Structure 1
Amino acid sequence: MNILVIAVDTLRWDHLAHNRAKPVKTPNLDRFAERATLFERCIVNSFPTVPHRMDCFTGRVCFPNWDWEQLPKQLPTLTETLRDAGYFTAVVADTTNFISANITRGAHEIHRTLLPPADMPDPKTMPFPVPPEHIRQRGAQRQKHAAEQAHFRRESDWWVAKTMTRAAEWLQDNAKRDKWFLWVDTFEVHELWHTPQYYVDKYDPGYTGLDYDFPNYGYTDIYSETELRHLWAHYAAEVTLTDRWIGHLLDQVDVMGLWDDTMLVVTSDHGMYIGEHNRTGKHTVLGEADPWPLYEEVTHVPMMVWAPGLGAEGKRIAALAQPADLAPTILDAARVAAPPMDGRSWLPLIAGERKRNWDVVYSAKHWGPNARLTICPTWVTATTEQWTAILAQEKHEAELYDIQADPGQRNNLAQRYPDIEPELRKDFARFMRSQGAAEEYIARYE
């Protein structure tokens, strides 16, 4: 069994066309969805980018103890475990921050495709398309990305194109190996939302206003309705561009006939608010002055799994899933013994041998006494099959939503059903204690 994982940064579940929630064109992911098993309720554990990948590579729910930081040496990685079992392991990525955090420890090869040119312009010289105060942290991150991409002329220059092309080449170079694992990771859907203009025109043709292509990581009162739609059009354009180049890699799998002996997973780390809940961005940038809730637009991520031989083409599974389940699922499919992990394999769910793995999934950014990334604290979200709760804490009242009747999470039912959120908060404290979290961290919820 060979294994190929495609991870896409900031890809919202409801922006894949086969989920029919948003009018976005994703023909290649749609055709993969026809083959794969779709986990319809995959909910993020650790947030954001690097902590999420810690969960994926270790099978642990990391946010109770670890922040955006170097992967602790005591946590064995998926790449180490597979390497020790005889797999050849590799990473192809234009997402570099998780590589720098040593999350890919154990990989035989790491191919970085984000390589800014030597003559990259000074970010400070890049023009602002909108007032800088309308961009996250006055545009510093946007200008850096704009400078990195200033040389783009053809679609093949974009990072996702380079990453998927390099991954397709890697398959050609390594397909004859006895067994291999390849993690392909693209940052492309993450802002700056910069694509060839013809992709934007698919979603907002004829727009003539301010060209918003980077969210303010704040509230939506700065935007007009047409400006907010144009911001969304840039995001939708990124999704369609990324889908096109994922299609290039899927075509390589087709041409080489790899489906019969290759497990293939497509997933993402989190979503993004683009007007929902009066916000744009995925988290606050004001630290403890304004922690943000993690609603479904951020926590609900795609998880599509093809595992040959299970006869589950196009199957949809409504049971809760979480990123920490990915590593034990891969090791189960590879018939490799797993080190201690929090996650549980999905193979019994896919085979119909089990109805559910979890009654509740918790989502949060680490906010304990050892927090390192302090600009983006979040409230804790508890997700069950029926409910999502934003857990009460000092300075924040409980929120409770019936996710089946109210998927947009607009009608807070915490007062109508006063027993549900407190019970979930008690369970969260038990979970945190079982993970060895700091008592002063846990005390906020008791």
Structure 2
Amino acid sequence: MKTILVLMDTLNRRSLPTYGGGASTPNIERAAEKSVVFQQHWSGSLPCMPARRDLFTGRTAFLEKGWGGIEPFDRTLPDTLREAGIFSHIITDHYHYFARGGENYCQSFTTWDFHRGQEGDPWHSIVSEPEKPEAYFGRVEGQYELNRQLFRREEDFSGPRTMAAACDWLELNKDEDNYFLVVEAFDPHEPFDFPPHYLDRYGDDYDGPRFDWPAYGDANVPENALRHLQVRYAANLSMIDHWFGKLLDTMDRHQLWEDTLFIFTTDHGFLLGEHHMLGKNQMHVYNELAHIPLMIRPPGGVSGGKRISGLTQTIDLMPTILDYMGVAVPETVKGHSLRGLLEGTQEKVRDAAIYGYHGMAVNVTDGQFTYMRSPQSADNHPCYIYTAVPTTFRAFLGRDGAESIECGRFLPCTVHPVFRYPVSVPGQHYDNNRRVMETQLFDIRSDYAQQHPLTDPATEARMTGLLKEEMKRAEAPEEQFQRLGLAEN
């Protein structure tokens, strides 16, 4: 028995023809035809590293902390498989795993393979500053300007190298069994960079300042530039889809489908002008960000082409993999195996799904409504980060305000002591939340684009109840209920 999990970072569900999109992704569609397609699959913790902690621990962790490493008390998927005698390998060009704040993810695999060069990966080393374009929208960063100098052919780009390495690994291990393989492409994450011939598929005629890396926030760019950015995203997706096809070819050639659990998904989506915004992290977690693709082909291809409407989340993938691999699910896991949905013995595994960023609004959906519960005060108090590994995105935690850091057994999920870092100060405005201070309710069956907030006290009360139940199930720290005005008297 084998499991192959393919991740593409920042993969917009709405771009894929399987979900009604218009990008050119024939190989993702090829995988969809072999697989069961999930209609109501949702993220949990956002963005990149929090999503991966959900994936590898089966717990929704954004209520405890945001960006950071695997904790010493986490029971991870690769470690659980290793204890059962199952080999694991990850092939990735996602450089955040190897930057500060990405500790202990790849290192829990039996072996790992890292392909360098994406975004700000400190790879190509030249002391002098590189030349930058005179005119551009969004971002241009020196390190990536250096890295991209090494992408002379399509085969040199990090995403293609990652997929090619996965093909090589499968060739080398074609006769092996009892393994877990993760193939993870950073594409189509920004910057949207690729050989120019991929633009030809989309008829792009843009002739303006360079725009391949948007700054997060308001979409304050000309309409033609915005359209160009959308096309560049689609073209970048088409490139990684082409190389994904080579992985599928390898699986076909060696008849790897019959005894393999195959999973294809992402961590989150990306705004490309919807809601008049670009990117992620700074705004409400709209459907474009949280409603993500999931395709699963069980061993033997049971029910290929079927569509499942039951609610699922990223945390459900760990118990699903363990179930099929015949390994007991740790008690710490909060997700549910999807095997019953896949094999038709269950219609649902959950009534609601929660998702969000640490310290921002907390969101819940039941598949018909989405409810975005905002902090109740501008100071966002009380709010804490809990961790035993004091790092975050390319930085250490606690270098400022060290006198306010505490250590104790604060988390109900573990007796392991953790640091508690305050991220809010009473009476002091918490600027990170400036775009999410309005609680909103949407009926996404009639208003999927979330343009028309509802005023419906009965539905809001029901969704509030679901939110509280799911937060309790996730073992949210008590102050999270206070921060959102949900504490019980």
The answer to whether the superposition gives a TM-score over 0.5 is yes
In structure 2, the residue matched to 1:283 is 281
After superposition, the C-alpha distances for 1:373-420 in whole angstroms (9 at most, x for unaligned) are xxxxx422211121111114325232111111111111111x1x1222
Counterparts in 2 of 1:436 and 1:201: CA distance versus 1, 3 Å: same
- The structural deviation recorded for 1:301 is 1.1
Looking at structure 1, the residues matched to 304 and 55 of structure 2 have their Cα atoms a distance apart, in angstroms, of 24
In structure 1, the residue matched to 2:452 is 411
In structure 1, the residue matched to 2:481 is 442
List aligned pairs for 1:3-402, cutoff 5 A.
Answer: 3-21=3-21, 23-98=22-97, 100-114=102-116, 120-121=125-126, 124-128=129-133, 130-131=135-136, 134-136=137-139, 139=140, 142-220=141-219, 222-284=220-282, 292-309=283-300, 311-340=302-331, 341-367=333-359, 378-394=360-376, 396-402=437-443
**Letter aligned with residue 35 of structure 2:** A
**Letter aligned with residue 33 of structure 2:** E
SS in 2 for 1:125: coil
Instruction: Give the fraction of aligned pairs with identical amino acids, expressed as a percent.
Output: 33
- The structural deviation recorded for 1:195 is 0.9
Counterparts in 2 of 1:129 and 1:425: CA distance versus 1, 3 Å: farther
**Letter aligned with residue 421 of structure 1:** E
- The structural deviation recorded for 1:434 is 4.0
**Letter aligned with residue 334 of structure 1:** M
Please identify which structure carries the higher helix content: 1
Structure 2: give runs of 5+ residues left out of the alignment.
Answer: 379-436
In structure 1, the residue matched to 2:390 is none
Alignment TM-score, normalising by the size of structure 1: 0.89
SS in 1 for 2:14: helix
- Structure 1, 47-56 or 200-209: larger mean CA deviation: 200-209
Contact 1:294 1:364 (C-alpha < 8 Å) held by counterparts: yes
Looking at structure 1, the residues matched to 32 and 142 of structure 2 have their Cα atoms a distance apart, in angstroms, of 36
In structure 2, the residue matched to 1:288 is none
- The structural deviation recorded for 1:200 is 2.0
Contact 2:78 2:88 (C-alpha < 8 Å) held by counterparts: yes
Alignment TM-score, normalising by the size of structure 2: 0.82
Contact 1:165 1:248 (C-alpha < 8 Å) held by counterparts: yes
In structure 2, the residue matched to 1:371 is none
Counterparts in 2 of 1:352 and 1:144: CA distance versus 1, 3 Å: same
- The structural deviation recorded for 1:310 is 5.6
Counterparts in 2 of 1:119 and 1:223: CA distance versus 1, 3 Å: closer
SS in 2 for 1:86: coil
Looking at structure 2, the residues matched to 16 and 122 of structure 1 have their Cα atoms a distance apart, in angstroms, of 41
Looking at structure 1, the residues matched to 336 and 87 of structure 2 have their Cα atoms a distance apart, in angstroms, of 24
- Structure 1, 39-48 or 58-67: larger mean CA deviation: 58-67
**Letter aligned with residue 390 of structure 1:** M
Looking at structure 2, the residues matched to 94 and 356 of structure 1 have their Cα atoms a distance apart, in angstroms, of 35
Looking at structure 2, the residues matched to 118 and 61 of structure 1 have their Cα atoms a distance apart, in angstroms, of 32
SS in 2 for 1:184: strand
- Structure 1, 267-276 or 306-315: larger mean CA deviation: 306-315
Looking at structure 2, the residues matched to 122 and 208 of structure 1 have their Cα atoms a distance apart, in angstroms, of 32
**Letter aligned with residue 125 of structure 1:** P
**Letter aligned with residue 135 of structure 1:** G
Contact 2:363 2:467 (C-alpha < 8 Å) held by counterparts: no
Structure 1: give runs of 5+ residues left out of the alignment.
Answer: 285-291, 368-377
Counterparts in 2 of 1:123 and 1:257: CA distance versus 1, 3 Å: farther
**Letter aligned with residue 9 of structure 1:** D
- The structural deviation recorded for 1:20 is 1.9
- The structural deviation recorded for 1:86 is 1.7
- The structural deviation recorded for 1:119 is 5.1
- The structural deviation recorded for 1:124 is 4.0
**Letter aligned with residue 16 of structure 1:** L
Contact 1:310 1:351 (C-alpha < 8 Å) held by counterparts: no
Looking at structure 1, the residues matched to 345 and 166 of structure 2 have their Cα atoms a distance apart, in angstroms, of 34
